[in-house]
Structure 1
Amino acid sequence: MKNSTSATKRGFSLVAVVIAALALVGCAPATPEPVTPTASDVWIKAVPELMDGMAMTGVFMTLENPSDEDIELVGATNTTEGLSETPLEIHEVVKGDDGEMKMQMVEGGIVIPAKGSVTLKPGGYHVMYWNLLKPIPVGSHVTLTLEFSNGTTRDVDAVARDISTYAG
């Protein structure tokens, strides 16, 4: 009888250990979901009519990163049907060796600092549309999807503005 009591105690002890282990696994921290930066004041430079060599425009906005890690804006995709079939690019305007301002692609993306923000504006960072297929009149809307280095995306709606109203 003594052996069966010891076996029962060992069985209960084993069950208790298994239950405790399962409880601890349930308490293990879950992998946090990646944070998607927010976008505000999203606008696109209006292109009232297409002219030879000028079928391009830029999108501007403020991106805010509430996370504890830097996140880069690494790409964007046009979602406005019939606007452009050319891939969008992330650009910046910089002073060249000759002292002239020039536009170039941003290698690696635009850094949105942890707990900070970055503003895309004329003469600086912007999302570039090439080879427009139709005009973008003032007040019209263009949609695009922003792509971030942490694998998240954000759909945004940009309202077309006359560049002369930019006060930045």
Structure 2
Amino acid sequence: MKQIIDRYDSHSKTLQKSEAPSQLQSHVDDSTCATLREELAESSLKLRQMRGEELQRLSIQQLQELEKTLESGLGSVLKTKSQKILDEINGLERKRMQLIEENSRLKEQVTRMARIERQLGADSEVVYEEGQSSESVTNASYPRPPADTDDGGSDTSLRLGLPLFNSK
């Protein structure tokens, strides 16, 4: 019987010791929660003041500090915005240069095609003008044969590449 009572006493003491830290932890959690609520309320008030709300309670010195903070933030925003605009302008300039290079390459290619066509003795004359599209050059270089008037159909043939032989 004495052993049972001793075990009960030791067990109850152990339970009391384990409950004490949980009460202490609960108190710490409540304290932390209260501190965080205060910080949240203070931060919310500062945010509203930065938006121009609830400024009546501020002194002139506090208003000047708020103004400096806002000017500093605005300066940072303007600097970032300017940098992004400059980056976009530089990207567009690079793209413009690539397009100019591609345009000159395509003009050279059209000129080479014209020389090859002249060398092959093609009987259709092609007039290359500044700004003429490759489609109009192709259409002028390879005219369509007259449509058959017998059956009222249209020409559905496909022509690719340079003409090597005259089909006349």
How does the TM-score come out when normalised to structure 2?
A: 0.31
* Structure (1 or 2) with the greater helix fraction: 2
Select the structure of larger CA radius of gyration. Answer: 2
How does the TM-score come out when normalised to structure 1?
A: 0.31
Instruction: Tell which has more relative contact order, 1 or 2 (C-alpha 8 A, sep 6+).
Output: 1
* Structure (1 or 2) with the greater strand fraction: 1
